[in-house]
Amino acid sequence: MIYKTSDLSRKAGDIIAEAMRRPVTLTRHNKPRLVLMNIEDYRRLRSDHDARNAYSVDAAPADMLDELERGLSEYLANSERE
């Protein structure tokens, strides 16, 4: 949901209630300026959890291996041109 920062004084209760359910964007001059969210979502975002994964070649998902192969092929093709 998106509100203007000027809405805060008139619709504070509605904005807070909405932010408890999902993040709310506050805009100023039609540009996003702030996000208001519940504390659980904020803490989850701020946690040190690293979502990156490491795989051995044998255990990597097929789409990841395909992407790696394409990248290596492109790199080799570019290095041969130099």
User: Please, what is the Cα angle at 23 between 19 and 28, to 5 degrees?
Assistant: 95
pLDDT for position 79: 81
pLDDT for position 21: 95
pLDDT for position 7: 93
Q: Give the residue extent of every domain in the chain.
A: 1-49, 52-82
Determine how many CB atoms are found less than 10 A away from the CB of residue 16: 13
pLDDT for position 82: 65
Q: What is the mean pLDDT of each run of 10 residues along the chain (82 residues)?
A: 92 95 95 95 81 85 91 88 68
pLDDT for position 78: 85
Is the domain spanning 1-49 CATH 3.10.20.30? The answer is: no
pLDDT for position 25: 96
pLDDT for position 46: 83
- Give the residue carrying structure tokens 């998902």: 61
**Beta bridge partner(s), residue 43:** none
